[in-house]
Amino acid sequence: MSFGPRLAELRESIEAEYRQRTPASGAMHARAQRHMPDGDTRTGIAFAPYQTYIESAHACFLYDVDGNALLDFNYNATSLIHGHAHPAVVTAIQRQAARGTAWSAPNPLQIELARDLCERVPSLEQVRFCNSGTEANMQAAKAARAFTGRDRLLKMDGAYHGTYDGLELNATEARGIPRNVRDNVVLAPFDDAAAAERLIVANRHELAAVIVTPVFTRGGLIPPSPGYLAALRDITRAHGVLLIFDEVISFRLAAGGAQDLYGVTPDLTALGKVIGGGLPVGAFGGRAEIMRVYAEGEPPGLTHAGTFNANPLTMAAGLAALELLTVPAFQRLADLGGRLSHRLAAVIGDDSAFQVNRVESLVSLDPRPTTIEPAAAEVLRLIRLALLNHRINMPGLCAVATVMTEVDVDRLVDAFGEVLGTFGDLLVPTTSGGVSA
Ligand code: PMP
């Protein structure tokens, strides 16, 4: 596919600089292909020509295998809210590692983390731990099905809830998922309360739950319109359908997650990322009446086993991270997010094919709704690659961390301005809604 000579020229020079700057990463990329399909074990983080291999990280920097220090705005997909290797978290992990990492018995720390989460998040009366956001959503769905005795789930088309079959489905085909999984999934457009209501009413006798990321974070950052989440709450309640918030990312937006920010309390909540302090984690919970499906008794409780559930290492790291997550910390995150989005928006201006979206500490540079792919995606890839050449890691969804300063934020803004200068009018929308590539 051709995007025109200007973009081809830029691509050549940006990629050449990237290759020249990262030869060790290039060699590792080639080696990795031999042992792992596509050279990696994590979908969604690859980019052309190849990824940067990171060997260590500290505070707001990633250190790559070629000796480059990259200012990070990714923080492992928004999870390291205090930056990399925060001393308090490192100490907590070290202390616990020396005291054992897992055993088939509960530990005191899990009670502390469960209590902390229940105190923070409005919907959580009780909680259980698992090892990923995927599992947290899967178990929330399972609890909803067991509680209601119904099978179907309504999810928003395109939303990402991890890789559980029943929640991975979108309107586009998903290879490897049995066709009959679709029988139990209803898809609705995000942020459209009227459409959700129609679908909930039509499926009310089969619907166990509606699951939604309160802020849409896949392929762009979209906050909910005022009243949308409250409408979902009212409609589900009116029809005896449970409401699940996937707060795996949005927990970082306020002391009690997005449900606290928007003042809407779901029945069940799935968590992950931040609450593990950088170690693998998931948690799900909600009303005690629903969570009782996991209690032993009559009928027998649901199976939710897991060799590493609530392991003390993760619990220790999570507690250390949450202890630092104070009201002033959230204020600082919001201030940094605000500064980043305002300054980026000022750099791109009003007549760009792209726009800056922001919710608290999350910021995203997205094509305007009228901008047509795929040229926009290629322009975004090249902007990110050019920023890597400026030693800045700017992912699709940017997050700020409490250890960052205004200087760090301004460094991205300045580099972004320079990069945009080289793109010139490639970022201006064409009359047909494309980018002028
Ligand atoms: N839900 C959301 C909203 C997510 O963004 C993610 C991961 N990015 C998940 C669930 C899955 O979490 P995990 O990768 O820990 O399985």
Q: Select which of 75, 160, 164, 228 is catalytic.
A: 160
CA 64 to chain CA centroid, nearest Å? 23
> Cα–Cα distance between 400 and 161 in angstroms, integer?
22
- In this structure, the residue with its CA closest to atom 12 of ligand 1 is 133
Span from the CA of 294 to the centroid of ligand 1 (angstroms):
23
Q: Is 248 in the pocket of ligand 1 (CB under 6 A)?
A: yes
Burial class (CB in 10 A: 0-12, 13-18, 19+), 370: exposed
Span from the CA of 282 to the centroid of ligand 1 (angstroms):
9
Structure-token pair, residue 197: 């209501």
Based on the residue annotation, tell me whether 273 is a catalytic residue of this protein. Answer: yes
Under the banding of pLDDT at 50, 70 and 90, the label for residue 2 is very low
Burial class (CB in 10 A: 0-12, 13-18, 19+), 34: exposed
Under the banding of pLDDT at 50, 70 and 90, the label for residue 389 is very high
Res 54: pLDDT: 98
Count CA within 13 A, CB hemisphere, residue 320.
24
> Cα–Cα distance between 315 and 110 in angstroms, integer?
6
- In this structure, the residue with its CA closest to atom 2 of ligand 1 is 161
Name the CA radius of gyration of the chain, rounded: 22
> Cα–Cα distance between 235 and 196 in angstroms, integer?
8
Q: Is 155 in the pocket of ligand 1 (CB under 6 A)?
A: no
Span from the CA of 358 to the centroid of ligand 1 (angstroms):
19
| 168-213 per-position pLDDT tens digit | 999 997 899 999 999 999 999 999 999 999 999 999 999 999 999 9
Under the banding of pLDDT at 50, 70 and 90, the label for residue 437 is low
What's the predicted TM-score (pTM) here?
Answer: 0.97
Residue 432 pLDDT exceeds 70 = no
For residue 363, what are the contacts with CB-CB under 8 A and spacing of at least 6?
221, 337, 340, 341, 344, 356, 357, 398, 399, 400
Res 1: pLDDT: 35
Q: In the 8-state DSSP scheme, what is residue 2? A: -
- In this structure, the residue with its CA closest to atom 13 of ligand 1 is 133
Q: Is 269 in the pocket of ligand 1 (CB under 6 A)?
A: no
Based on the residue annotation, tell me whether 246 is a catalytic residue of this protein. Answer: yes
**Average pLDDT score over residue span 326-350:** 97
Res 87: pLDDT: 98
Q: Select which of 50, 164, 228, 273 is catalytic.
A: 273
Q: Is 214 in the pocket of ligand 1 (CB under 6 A)?
A: no
Share of the chain above pLDDT 90, in %: 89
Instruction: Quickly list H helices, 22-81.
Output: 23-35, 75-78
**How big is the chain, counted in residues?**
437
CA 259 to chain CA centroid, nearest Å? 16
| 51-92 per-position pLDDT tens digit | 999 999 999 999 999 999 999 999 999 999 999 999 999 999
Span from the CA of 114 to the centroid of ligand 1 (angstroms):
20
Could you tell me the CA-to-CA distances from 186 to 138, 239, 280 in Å, in that order? 16, 16, 30
Per-domain boundaries in the chain: 5-81+327-427, 87-324
The residue that leads in pLDDT, 340 or 373, is: 340
Span from the CA of 284 to the centroid of ligand 1 (angstroms):
13
User: Helix or strand or coil: residue 257?
Assistant: helix
Task: Answer yes or no: are the C-beta atoms of 401 and 81 closer than 8 Å.
Answer: yes
Q: Which of 135, 245, 249 to mutate to test the pocket of ligand 1 (most atoms within 8 A of CB)?
A: 249
Could you tell me the CA-to-CA distances from 238 to 125, 197, 266 in Å, in that order? 22, 10, 13
Q: Tell me the range of 1-5, 61-65, 296-300 where mean pLDDT is highest.
A: 61-65
CATH superfamily of 5-81+327-427: Aspartate Aminotransferase, domain 1 (3.90.1150.10)
> Cα–Cα distance between 69 and 111 in angstroms, integer?
39
| 217-276 per-position pLDDT tens digit | 998 999 999 999 999 999 999 999 999 999 999 999 999 999 999 999 999 999 999 999
* Domain 87-324 classification at class level: alpha beta
Give exposure, 3-15, as e/b (b: 16+ Cβ within 10 Å): beeebeebbeebb
Which residue, 305, 279, 311, is CA-closest to 132? 279
Under the banding of pLDDT at 50, 70 and 90, the label for residue 427 is confident
Span from the CA of 320 to the centroid of ligand 1 (angstroms):
21
Which atom of ligand 1 is found nearest the CA of 134? 16
Res 431: pLDDT: 63
> Cα–Cα distance between 302 and 185 in angstroms, integer?
21
Helices 87-97 and 312-324 pack at an angle, to 10 degrees, of 160
Q: In the 8-state DSSP scheme, what is residue 179? A: G
- In this structure, the residue with its CA closest to atom 5 of ligand 1 is 249
Under the banding of pLDDT at 50, 70 and 90, the label for residue 434 is low
Res 345: pLDDT: 97
Rounded to the nearest integer, the mean pLDDT of the chain is 95
Which atom of ligand 1 is found nearest the CA of 135? 16
Q: Is 136 in the pocket of ligand 1 (CB under 6 A)?
A: no
